C-alpha cells in the first residue's frame, strides 16, 4: 500500500450509527480477531480480552447500559474490548493499569480498522456504565470494559466531521 492509499483508507472510515439487520459472519469475526492479535502490547503481554456479543437480549442490555445508544442493538454484533488488569499488573504493578487500558484500546483500534478493510462499519462506544456492563457480561473483577465496538453493515453518514489541523496537536521539542 502506498502512503496516499494508506491515508485515504484511514480518512474514509466513519463512525456508523445506522445499521441494516443481518449481523456479520464467523469469518468476519475471525478476521477482526486475527488483526487484533497483531497489535503491539506492553511487554507483549496482550493484556486485553474481548467478549463478542450477538445475543439480542444482551445487546439490548448493553444499549441500556450506554444510555440508549441504539447502534449497539441495531448492529447485531458488539465487540466489548476489555483491559485485563491482572495480566499486566502481575508484571508491571500499578503501571499495569495504564498498560492494560492502552493494550485494550490499541486492540480495539486494530479491530475497527480491520472491519473497515473488509467494508464493515463500526462505532466506537466509550460512554457506558462500567458496572452495568460488567454485570451483563459476567466479567471478573479484574477486567475493565474499555470499548464497545459495534460491528455490522450500515449506512455511513454523508458528511465528514471537522478535524483540528494536525499542527494544532503538534508541539516540537517542547510544549
Ligand atoms: C474514546 C471514544 C469514545 C467514543 N464514544 C462514543 C460514544 O459513546 N457514542 C458514539 O456514538 N460515538 C462515540 N465515539 C465516536 C466519536 O464520536 C467519533 O469517532 C468522532 O465523532 C469522529 O467521527 P468519525 O469516527 O466518523 O471520524 C467515541 C470515540 C472515541 C475515540
Per-residue pLDDT reduced to its tens digit, 97-154: 999 999 999 999 999 999 999 999 999 999 999 999 999 999 999 999 999 999 999 9
Pocket test for ligand 1, best of 7, 67, 75, 124 (most atoms within 8 A of CB): 124
Cell numbers linked to 156 = 455511513
* Single pTM value for the model: 0.98
Answer for the pair 101, 147: CB distance below 8 angstroms, yes or no.
Answer: no
Per-residue pLDDT reduced to its tens digit, 47-57: 999 999 999 99
**Domains of the chain, residue spans:** 16-75+85-151
Residues near ligand 1 (Cβ within 6 A): 14-15, 17, 69, 123-127, 161
Ligand 1 center from residue 70 Cα (angstroms): 14
C-alpha distances (whole Å) from 138 to each of 36, 66, 119, 157 are 23, 17, 31, 34
| E-state strands within the chain | 48-53, 78-84, 121-125, 143-152
Read off the DSSP letter of residue 15: B
Read off the DSSP letter of residue 70: T
Ligand 1 center from residue 15 Cα (angstroms): 7
Q: Which CATH architecture has domain 16-75+85-151?
A: 3-Layer(aba) Sandwich (3.40)
Amino acid at each position: 500500500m502506498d502512503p496516499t492509499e494508506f491515508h485515504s483508507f484511514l480518512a474514509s472510515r466513519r463512525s456508523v450509527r445506522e445499521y441494516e439487520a443481518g449481523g456479520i459472519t464467523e469469518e468476519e469475526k475471525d478476521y477482526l480477531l486475527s488483526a487484533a492479535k497483531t497489535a503491539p502490547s506492553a511487554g507483549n503481554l496482550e493484556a486485553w480480552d474481548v467478549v463478542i456479543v450477538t445475543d439480542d437480549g444482551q445487546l439490548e442490555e448493553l444499549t441500556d447500559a450506554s444510555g440508549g445508544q441504539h447502534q449497539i442493538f441495531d448492529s447485531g454484533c458488539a465487540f466489548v474490548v476489555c483491559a485485563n488488569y491482572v495480566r499486566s499488573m502481575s508484571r508491571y504493578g500499578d503501571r499495569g493499569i495504564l498498560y492494560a487500558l492502552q493494550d485494550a484500546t490499541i486492540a480495539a483500534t486494530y479491530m475497527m480498522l480491520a472491519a473497515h478493510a473488509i467494508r464493515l462499519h463500526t462505532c466506537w462506544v466509550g460512554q457506558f456504565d462500567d458496572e452495568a456492563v460488567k454485570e451483563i457480561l459476567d466479567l471478573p473483577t479484574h477486567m475493565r470494559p474499555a470499548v464497545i465496538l459495534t460491528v455490522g453493515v450500515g449506512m455511513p453518514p454523508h458528511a465528514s466531521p471537522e478535524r483540528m489541523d494536525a499542527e494544532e496537536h503538534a508541539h516540537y521539542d517542547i510544549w
